[in-house]
Amino acid sequence: MELRILMLEDDATDAELVQRSLHGHDLNPVFMVVSSAIEYTRALQEFKPAVILADNSLPQFDAKEALRYLQEKKIHIPFIMVTGTMSEEFAVHIIKKGADDYILKNSLVRLPSAIQAALRHHETEREKENAISQLVVSERNYRVLVERITDAFIALDNEWRYTYINPQAATLIHKTPEEVMGKSVWEIFPEAVGSSTYQAMMRAFQEQCYQTNEDYFAPLNLWQENHIYPSPDGISMFIRDISERKRLQLELMEQKRREQQRLTATALAAQERERNAIAVELHDNVNQILVGTNLLLTIMRDNPEKGKELLHSCMDSIREAISENRKIAHELVTPDLETEGLLEQLNKLVGNMLAPAGIQVKIEQEGFQENGLTADQKLALYRIFQEQCANIIKYAGATEVLFRFRRMEEKYIILIADNGKGAEPADLHKGIGLHNISARINVLDGRSAIHTAPGQGFRLEINLPIQ
């Protein structure tokens, strides 16, 4: 598509230089050069330019007059000064009067980008004007539309005075239209000055661009969502009451906070139980073995002749204490799940916990790949296996345990099932170990299900999303 450029220039050489500077920039320019007011006005009607480039040094018709004529006729096209010399004061003056830009003839390299920027700016302004004209085709239709909308709506002039307020807005601010019409919004609501809404309204009007924001206005106990549409005469503003939505959001945040507190409390309680368990193990096993060994050593001290007889018993006791200590350490230490995979660690775990209890273990897998699990998920699963193995040893009376790993679509399904005596479903909430398992799964955004009944074994199914 060609770009019609009207040049107001009386120097043919300068005109040719300007034209050359615009070739090869995806503009596809077509030029018309005029040098008088008559030619200029005729070209506007017949040539219908998309851009005007005006020199300011013409003797009888300068750029200021050309720009003023455009504005009088309400012709909205880019107007750029292209001149040999220009003072900074004059440049500021002509821009304030409405020119889009100015280019010195010794800096024509900037002209293509200046034209493109001016075209974009005018296109944006044209779209805004079209949108506004479509919204307010007539005052009557406009008011009917506003009366029917469900959101609150107000219109303010350029002095921030109410020119319109619909019934919904009047209800929202607890005022009648008569109380606010013609008055400044900042006079009625001085507490709003400086607020987020105040800044959004100022920015919309000063920059003549749409703004939206959310804000809380304490005097009305109101959370509001604002949509602000500016015009040269003021602003139109749609206000939506989002107090209920915010209340629900705050409730949800509070629920999450309480859930996090519950999980933290569960974790702390688990730590305390773990510490108590360690203390019991140390007291009932290691400490008793060492007390017995100390007693034997005391006898040996007081009766040296019995030393040879008791020495082997002391050594056996010390070896037993070392074994118990290693057992406790193995249960506490974080497994190295990077060097050895989760299934390898599970094999070690059941070998250390279930096998000594005479329980047969079977591990099955179907499409299971550990690389779909994060490090946190692997560690959580290991602790769950550890907890459930302890539950099976303590409560199940089982002889067989099955671990099954499957992948189904975008999740992993892990089953731990035993053939033990099962439990009453109503009693499951009493189990601290099961609470720990559930908390670990919830933290990882997973789900769990338990299937059990007296005499029918125990099945724990875990679903974890693939990361």
Confidence of residue 201 (pLDDT cuts 50, 70, 90): very high
Please tell me which of 131-145, 186-200, 326-340 the model is most confident about, judged by mean pLDDT: 186-200
Query: What class is the 3-133 domain?
Result: alpha beta
Low-confidence winner among 39-43, 215-219, 423-427, 435-439 (lowest mean pLDDT): 435-439
Query: What class is the 334-467 domain?
Result: alpha beta
Bridge partners of residue 155, in order along the sequence: 164, 236
Confidence of residue 414 (pLDDT cuts 50, 70, 90): very high
pLDDT digits (tens, 9 = 90+) for 140-170: 555 555 555 667 899 999 999 999 998 889 9
- Do 3-133 and 139-241 have matching folds? no
Q: How many residues does the chain have?
A: 467
Residue 459 in tokens: 């099945």
Q: What average pLDDT does the segment 58-80 reach?
A: 87
**Count of other CB atoms within 10 angstroms of residue 166:** 22
Is residue 448 within 8 A of residue 462, CB to CB? The reply is yes
% of residues, the chain, pLDDT over 90: 39
pLDDT digits (tens, 9 = 90+) for 75-103: 889 999 988 877 778 888 888 888 999 88
- pLDDT, position 29: 92
DSSP calls for 68-97: HHHHHTT----EEEEES---HHHHHHHHHH
DSSP calls for 410-441: TEEEEEEEE-S----GGGGGG-HHHHHHHHHH
CA-CA distance, 171 to 214, in Å (whole number)? 19
- pLDDT, position 462: 92
Coil/strand/helix, residue 332: helix
CA-CA distance, 166 to 146, in Å (whole number)? 7
Average pLDDT value over all residues in the chain: 85
Where do the DSSP E strands lie in 76-166?
79-83, 101-104, 152-157, 162-165
Element (H, E) at 227: strand 222-231
Q: What average pLDDT does the segment 361-369 reach?
A: 90
- pLDDT, position 279: 66
Question: Where do the structural domains in the chain lie, given as residue ranges?
Answer: 3-133, 139-241, 252-333, 334-467
Is it the case that residue 130 has pLDDT exceeding 90?
no
- pLDDT, position 235: 93
pLDDT digits (tens, 9 = 90+) for 240-258: 999 888 888 888 888 888 8
**CATH superfamily assigned to domain 139-241:** PAS domain (3.30.450.20)
Confidence of residue 207 (pLDDT cuts 50, 70, 90): very high
Confidence of residue 6 (pLDDT cuts 50, 70, 90): very high
Provide the residue type at 439 as one letter: A
% of residues, the chain, pLDDT over 70: 89
- pLDDT, position 125: 84
* Greater model confidence, 434 or 93: 93
pLDDT digits (tens, 9 = 90+) for 314-355: 888 888 777 777 666 666 666 777 778 889 989 988 988 888
Is it the case that residue 292 has pLDDT exceeding 80?
no
CA-CA distance, 63 to 65, in Å (whole number)? 5
What Rg value do the Cα atoms of the chain yield, rounded? 42
pLDDT digits (tens, 9 = 90+) for 41-62: 999 999 999 999 998 877 778 8
Is it the case that residue 197 has pLDDT exceeding 80?
yes
Is it the case that residue 276 has pLDDT exceeding 80?
no
- pLDDT, position 377: 85
- pLDDT, position 332: 60
Is it the case that residue 281 has pLDDT exceeding 70?
no
CA-CA distance, 247 to 139, in Å (whole number)? 38
* Greater model confidence, 1 or 364: 364
pTM of the model: 0.39
DSSP letter for 287, please. Answer: I
Please tell me which of 12-21, 138-147, 369-378 the model is most confident about, judged by mean pLDDT: 12-21
